[in-house]
Amino acid sequence: QRSSKRRVAPCVRSVCVRQLEGAAFAGLTSAFCLTLVLLYFWGQAENDYNDFDCPEGRRSITVSRFLTLPVSPVGLLSLWLGRFLFGNLGFWFPWSVVLLVLAAGFFIYVTVLMLLAVCLLAEGQKLQLHWSHKVGILVSFIFSVVAISMLSDLWAKEWMTLLLSFQVTAPYLHVGGVSLMTSLAWPVALHTFRTRSRVRRGLMMGVYLTALMGLYMVPLGLYSPCIKEKGTLGPAPALIGHRGAPMLAPENTLMSFEKAVEAGSDGLEADVTIRLDLDGVPFLMHDHTLQRTTNVQQVFPSRADSPAAMFSWSQLQRLDAGTWFLSAENGFAGQYSCQTDGCPLQLDPFGTAASLGAEQRQRAREQSVCSLQAFLQLAAHTNRVVIFDLYRPPTGHPYRDIWVQRTLEVIHNQSSIHSSQVLWLPSHLRALVQESDPELQQTSGSRLPLEELQSNHIVKLNLHYSSMSTELIREHAAVNITTNLYVISQPWLYSLAWCSGVHSVSTDAPQLLRTLRSPLVLMSPEEYNLMWILTDVLSFVLVFVFFCFHWWRERELALCSDKGTLDSGFKFKTEMSDIWSVSNSKSQNGADGQNSSNARALAAERS
């Protein structure tokens, strides 16, 4: 019994070890898939990194607002972290870049382990992962789950960006996926034909072949507007500088709009706010307050959180609206102390300030809050269209009830711009505006029924790029309604908009998109069919060869083993590790006979 227990104990430990290593490999596979999803998702979200790092909701939040915000616990945690870092560092931290680096680091680490595991399995070796790597895999898995959950909670709309990206990358992802599955055919076939259990063998082969065949069929359901017949591609979308050229100059300043014109923008956008100050002077400001893009905390420390519309024009002219754009090494730290004087909430938002020369940096420091009149005059002189949203002044403002009329007065009487150059986006009092100036290009920021759009004399839609749809664009173009999408700054998104027939896009990077001569991905249906069919056929042939080779190899090994036993009495046993163990059956039989004789002699003596 003691001997039997000694033999059973190692077997139990061996089974436990195999189960643990199997669970570790399953965890490694799961971590690989999750880190891949996270890295791809966050890489495609680069277009909106600036919004993620410093969204409007975080820029000027008081304690009372913080306690009453209707967001989830995850959102509150992110909000608290942002405010904590601002209080200690003086500016918002670039979380997007940090998250990208972490996601790339975890993915590289897990990928290296995955490659090593596949190589060991391909050689028939057993997997024995070190405990430190088991911990690393667990950390990678947890990080990916938490990151994906937080992003889904805080930024759910970015999943639409992910879906749009497949319309550009899917043809190449299909080729990559088929290549990966084909390379896995070798270890899968090896272990399939070495497994003695028919159930396990059928399960392994069934799962692998089902996944492979499903991958082969993906192109049949793929849609991409960039797969189209030659000669059917329309003109490139016109570029509208979103807040000017915010990568080249401080946003919403005269310098920024001049840079946008120099970069080749066809239009200028003052983003979402044109507020009326106490003197009735409309001016450009994106945020509800002045904190992020001016030194209001230094000049008016007691009013830093006040609405921008509650400052007079003379007070606004005292503010520095350009230095915030420059990084510390370009002179910001020399002018302000974030801990004592207070400073803007965001420095060098796109990481491009260092590219400015000394003269351009000095010019940026001299920028002040831009008035609507100066903005319109620049557009008139350069023959550019303009688009802006108009926010109603807060309660108690002297122009709260006549804000639309005051804006029209500036357009008609205080600037030389022609009404046809103005894309009128505000929906408030649209009928009155249309009646007073029919030449204004009425623009809608909502997807409304065609009948309603036509009754409101709408000639252009201004929609978020996540609403991109070839059918929608064609449907509206048929009734002479063009489409503008915002904000598109990545070449792949611009390429997709181009292929979809979009007429114009608002962008933070006109200097980059202007250099594109054609979409990044453009092929005819015939070219794409040839690409995916050749890929699938070549993969099928290789997989068939791999499985046939391992079937033949294992069959030959079994035949050799049987022949060796019959000819010389030796037994050959092939394990999963592909290591051959040899034992002499004759010697074993002789030893067994000798032991039996000794036992009989001992019994005779005792009797």
Tokens 């599955």 sit on residue? 181
Q: What is the pLDDT at residue 52?
A: 77
- Residues 365-423: tens digit of each pLDDT: 999 999 999 999 999 999 999 999 888 888 888 888 888 898 999 999 999 999 999 99
User: What SS3 state is found at 575?
Assistant: coil
User: CA 117, CA 312: separation in Å to the nearest integer?
Assistant: 68
pLDDT cut 70: percent of the chain above it: 78
The pair phi, psi for residue 267, each rounded to 5°, is -155, 170
Assign residue 351 a region (left: φ > 0; alpha: ψ between -120 and 50; beta: otherwise): left
- Residues 429-467: tens digit of each pLDDT: 899 999 999 999 999 999 999 999 999 999 999 999 999
Mean pLDDT score, 579-604: 47
Output the DSSP codes for 427-494. Answer: -TTHHHHHHH-TTSEEEESS---HHHHHHTT--EEEEEGGG--HHHHHHHHTTT-EEEEE---SHHHH
Q: What is the pLDDT at residue 332?
A: 39
Residues 6+ apart with CB under 8 A from 171: 219, 222, 224, 227, 521, 523, 528, 531, 532
Rounded to 5 degrees, what angle do the CA atoms 511, 513, 518 make?
Answer: 140
Whether the Cβ atoms of residue 546 and residue 558 lie closer than 8 Å to each other: no
Nearest Cα neighbor of 387 from 322, 463, 325 is 463
Whether the Cβ atoms of residue 409 and residue 291 lie closer than 8 Å to each other: no
- Residues 194-221: tens digit of each pLDDT: 888 888 888 889 999 999 999 999 999 8
3-state secondary structure 33-89: HHHHHHHHHHHHHHHHHHHHHCCHHHHCCCHHHHHHCCCCHHHHHHHHHHHHHHHHH
pLDDT cut 90: percent of the chain above it: 53
Tokens 């409007």 sit on residue? 56
The pair phi, psi for residue 543, each rounded to 5°, is -65, -45
Tell me what the pLDDT averaged over the chain comes to: 82
- Residues, the chain: 607
Burial class of residue 173, CB neighbours in 10 A (0-12, 13-18, 19+): middle
- Residues 94-108: tens digit of each pLDDT: 778 889 999 999 999
Residues 6+ apart with CB under 8 A from 143: 102, 106
Distance (Å) of CA 381 to CA 69, 153, 404, 417: 45, 45, 24, 8
**C-alpha dihedral, 547 to 548 to 550 to 554, nearest 10°:** 130
Q: What is the largest CA-CA distance in the chain?
A: 132
First CA to last CA distance, the chain: 26
Nearest Cα neighbor of 153 from 68, 92, 79, 61 is 79
Q: What is the pLDDT at residue 80?
A: 52
Instruction: Quote the tokens at residue 65.
Output: 């607002």
Q: What is the pLDDT at residue 49?
A: 87
Mean pLDDT score, 120-129: 81
User: CA 247, CA 510: separation in Å to the nearest integer?
Assistant: 9
User: CA 11, CA 187: separation in Å to the nearest integer?
Assistant: 26
- Residues 217-268: tens digit of each pLDDT: 999 988 999 999 988 999 999 999 999 999 999 999 999 999 999 999 999 9
Tell me, rounded to whole angstroms, the distance of Cα 91 from its chain centroid: 24
- Residues 304-341: tens digit of each pLDDT: 888 888 888 899 999 999 988 885 443 333 344 343 34
User: CA 288, CA 273: separation in Å to the nearest integer?
Assistant: 8
Higher per-residue confidence, 120 vs 485: 485
Output the DSSP codes for 322-336. Answer: SGGGS-GGGTHHHH-
